[in-house]
Amino acid sequence: MATPSSSSPATQIMLAIYEKKTTSIDLYRPLRNYIVYNYSEREAQTLEDDLQTLKQYRTDIERSSPSDSLTSRRDLLINYFRALTAIESRFPISPESDHINTLTFVWHDAFKNKLKASQQNIHLEKAAVLFNLGAVHSQLGLGFDRGQVEGRKNASHSFMKAAGVFAFLRDNVAMKACMGNSTTVDVSVECVGMLERLMLAQAQECVFENTIAKGSSATVCAKISRQVGIFYEEASAALKVAPLNQHFEKAWHSHVQLKAALFYAEACYRYGLELHDKEEIGEEIARLKSGINALSEARKSSPKGAAQQLLDAYNILEGNLNRNLERAVKENDRVYLMRVPPASSLQPLPAFQMVKSMPMTEVFDASKEKMFASLVPDSSAKALSRYTEMVDDVIRTQAEILQQGSELTRVRLKEMDLPESILALEGHSALPTALKEDVDAVQICGGPAGLEAELQQLKDLRRVNQELLVQTEELLQKEATEDAQFRTQFGTRWTRPQSSTLTKNLQDRLNRFAANLKQAAESDTRIERSVREHSSLMSILDRHPIESVLPTLGRPIMSLDANEDAILGALKQSLRQLETLGAQRAGLEDMLKEMKRKDDILPKLMTSTGSYDDLFRKEISKYDQICQEIAKNVEAQENLLVQIQAQSNEFAAVFNIEDYKASREKCFKQIEAAIAKYQEIKENVNEGLKFYVTLQDAITNMKQQCSDFVMTRSIQCREMIEEVQRQMAGLSFQDSKNSGNYSYPSVGQSNQPQRAPTQQPNTGNIPQQPHPQPQPYYSPPQQPNAGNIPQQPHPQSQPYYSPPQQQPPQQPNAPGYNQPPPPYGSQQQQPPYHLPTGRPPYTSPQNQQQPGATHEYGQPAYPGWQGPYYNAPGQQQPGSMPRPPYTVPAPYPPPNQGGYYRQ
């Protein structure tokens, strides 16, 4: 479950956009006059209702009031935009004499009301209406109660609709509205594009709030939060460049910039929780530092004017990041000792986009609009569609020609090994992309120089396991020594079985552990020997930059006519010319797209009285010039490639390119071989570390069993001393035949009492208080009841421990355990810090509650543990110890050896 949002105050701060203001204008009279003049008075009377409706729409738009319902305002703007779309295709509005030239639309800038634009075309009117519609949707989104699930969903949908309106404005109307002499920044392509990203950011932010409220995982929260930050970063980038950098108030810049940093840091915080659960402490530290740095830099660079609630959110999140960073650093210093990667080497945080701009094409579709439907015949609409198809065909054909020219250039230059050969001559050789990525991966991991530290870690882990074995052996030896001393002291009265008969199973396991460690040490030696033997081969990977090891193309030692510089200069000049032609092709393609976007012949179609075909031929001829330029460009490139081919052949002969290619390929193969050997050794080292850490867990488990056995034997020792003292004092009430016949179970036998088949004498007169007894040689501290260890004196009629002949034969468990432990290395055996599913891996076995919001975790037994104990298939018998992966026969590397070591 995710914790509450670490920056909850920020969830209450969002931005809404105010509508543009306009001046009054009379649409009724100019449009009616146009209908009368171009059609008839009768047609004007037929369309009277449409004219009155349009007039009412415009009047309502002009009289907007804060008390108006936002939903009714939204519907009015949509209906008016559809009406404007119908007008655009039927009434040519422009300064031209034969058009409607008495209408001038005036709109003020939404962010700087003193600025205004006035144009005699309908594009400014449409752009302003769309802008206001997007603003109304943003106000609707801000008005919902985001304290509830439904409120957050509705707010997110409103912001997505606002983003969809601004996207439609940017792609379809903004460019046309800005082509006039008078315009405002708020309806420019740059501004509406920024507003679209801002609305998407707020919509994604609502989703993030919902995700937090539902208690989703840290991983999901991190991805959604990162996408919020990406949207705010895009909006902030647009605000920092002209024309927006001087147009908005500082509070806008500060809000967007701080929100971008805040949600990036939020993603680092959430992602850090996931990394902590995975025990990837090194990357967690790097991510937390990155988030803290982002907050600090944003606070310094952002303008003043941010809301206090946003600053409070900064402080809360910064505190959480610092606490988690302090905890992670302590754990890494004390336990994990992982390398903290530099921030530049971190992969981008994963993001999950949950919102997108709402498609508004159907909302604004006026194809079914009946207003003024009788004015334009279908032939005009069909003619426009036909012309559009003609333009599309020209654009598509010319674009294919340009793309084929660029592809041909790339292939031909690749065949001639250009410009790589010239770069090599100048000392700027480069690795292939795939090989470069492999080298970078090796160097990020520390490279061959870092193997020494990992080899030392192998030695340290092996030493820790050796010390654990010695400590376990000492426990058993001490118990055996104490038993022998009491046996000598009491003679035949000391009837307890000898320690050596009970600890045989434990001793065998200790011997197998020792054998495993011995074999592992031999494998470590082979790894070290492999590192030494191949150090010279792998040393190439430690070179920075790696390109410094590549061969360079040298000048010829002897020259007959000293024309090398002339050959090289001519080839460079030709390549520069080829590059210029490529840049021209890119510009020509952009020109084609721009011409198509501006090509609007609808007003001409509406006023044309001649043949449409004549108009089409005249209009399509606008593309003839650019088509000729494309043909010239392609022809010039073909001639230049022929010239470059001849110059390349001459260059290759003079500078001995073939020998350079051979040496370069040899160097590439050397680097590939070094990478392969490094990866092989790295895998062996990692497998060895995993083996040692897992073996340490198994030895620790066995040490605990030995400690339990020693404790049980100590309790038995005290009870037997009491019984021997009773015998010696003549206080024993037991039958002389059964007196002193104590038989203690061996390791692996049950210590539960077994009833004898015969009736036992009454022991009711046995004293309840034990006599004072001598202090035993080994007196362990009092322990709480664990397993079946007895805690009370035993005055019952039968001894607490059963005779040897009544024990089940060959039970593997130690005394004091109800169930026998699984065979060492079996699938059932779990490390002591192997936790059940659902419990965070940092929780200790003694404290299994879920972590709270502070995320204070325990520590595992040893850093680096990643999986179950190594169990080589096919090498383990039931009840036996598994052979570790270090049992590889010499010499190293072995032939056809799989698993841990590779050839």
d(CA 276, CA 269): 11
Top pLDDT among 725 and 201 is at 201
Condensed to tens digits (0 to 9), the pLDDT of residues 357-366 reads 999 988 888 7
Condensed to tens digits (0 to 9), the pLDDT of residues 680-716 reads 888 899 989 999 999 999 999 999 999 999 999 899 8
Which one, of 301, 271, 311, lies nearest residue 289 by Cα? 271
CB 787 within 8 A of CB 705: no
d(CA 459, CA 699): 17
pLDDT band, residue 770 (cuts 50/70/90):
very low
d(CA 268, CA 294): 10
- Looking at residue 50, its pLDDT comes to 92
CB atoms within 10 A of CB 613: 10
d(CA 582, CA 409): 9
Top pLDDT among 609 and 676 is at 676
Q: Return the biggest CA–CA distance within the chain.
A: 140
Q: Which two tokens stand for residue 764?
A: 């009711």
Best mean pLDDT range from 406-420, 666-680, 709-723: 709-723
pTM of the model: 0.48
Contacts of 40 (CB under 8 A, 6+ apart): none
pLDDT band, residue 752 (cuts 50/70/90):
very low
Angle at the Cα of 794 from the Cα atoms of 788 and 796, rounded to 5 degrees: 115
- The burial of 110, by beta-carbon neighbours within 10 Å (0-12 exposed, 13-18 middle, 19 or more buried), is given as buried
Q: Which two tokens stand for residue 18?
A: 């105010």
d(CA 351, CA 302): 24
Q: What are phi and psi of 722, to 5 degrees?
A: -60, -45
Task: Flag whether pLDDT at 854 surpasses 80.
Answer: no
Task: Flag whether pLDDT at 67 surpasses 80.
Answer: no
Q: Which two tokens stand for residue 651?
A: 């260059």
CB atoms within 10 A of CB 98: 11
pLDDT band, residue 733 (cuts 50/70/90):
very low
Question: What does each C-alpha distance from 195 to 92, 171, 188, 232, 304 come to in angstroms?
Answer: 31, 13, 11, 10, 21
d(CA 4, CA 216): 10
Percentage of the chain surpassing pLDDT 90?
33
DSSP string, 520-582: HHHHHHHHHHHHHHTHHHHGGGG-SSGGGGS--PPPPS--SS--HHHHHHHHHHHHHHHHHHH
CB 697 within 8 A of CB 869: yes
Contacts of 42 (CB under 8 A, 6+ apart): none
d(CA 512, CA 880): 9
pLDDT band, residue 555 (cuts 50/70/90):
low
Condensed to tens digits (0 to 9), the pLDDT of residues 148-191 reads 999 999 999 999 999 999 999 999 999 888 876 788 999 999 99
Condensed to tens digits (0 to 9), the pLDDT of residues 501-546 reads 888 888 888 899 999 988 999 898 999 888 888 888 887 777 777 7
Task: Flag whether pLDDT at 111 surpasses 50.
Answer: yes
3-state SS of 392-434?
HHHHHHHHHHHHHHHHHHHHHHHHCCCCHHHHHHCCCCCCCHH
Task: Flag whether pLDDT at 86 surpasses 90.
Answer: no
d(CA 601, CA 388): 10
- Looking at residue 369, its pLDDT comes to 75
Best mean pLDDT range from 197-206, 467-476, 723-732, 752-761: 197-206
Condensed to tens digits (0 to 9), the pLDDT of residues 346-383 reads 899 999 999 999 999 888 887 677 788 777 555 566 77
- Looking at residue 273, its pLDDT comes to 92
Q: Which range, of 13-22, 602-611, 666-675, 856-865, averages the lowest pLDDT?
A: 856-865
Best mean pLDDT range from 54-68, 688-702, 745-759, 802-816: 688-702
The kind and range of the H/E element at 118 are: strand 116-119
d(CA 237, CA 244): 10
Question: What does each C-alpha distance from 604 to 368, 383, 624 come to in angstroms?
Answer: 23, 11, 20
Angle at the Cα of 786 from the Cα atoms of 784 and 790, rounded to 5 degrees: 80
Top pLDDT among 311 and 747 is at 311
Which one, of 125, 96, 119, 123, lies nearest residue 34 by Cα? 96
3-state SS of 92-110?
CECCCCCCECCCCEEEECC
d(CA 53, CA 466): 94
Top pLDDT among 283 and 600 is at 283
- Looking at residue 835, its pLDDT comes to 34
Q: Which two tokens stand for residue 752?
A: 């539960």
- Looking at residue 426, its pLDDT comes to 64
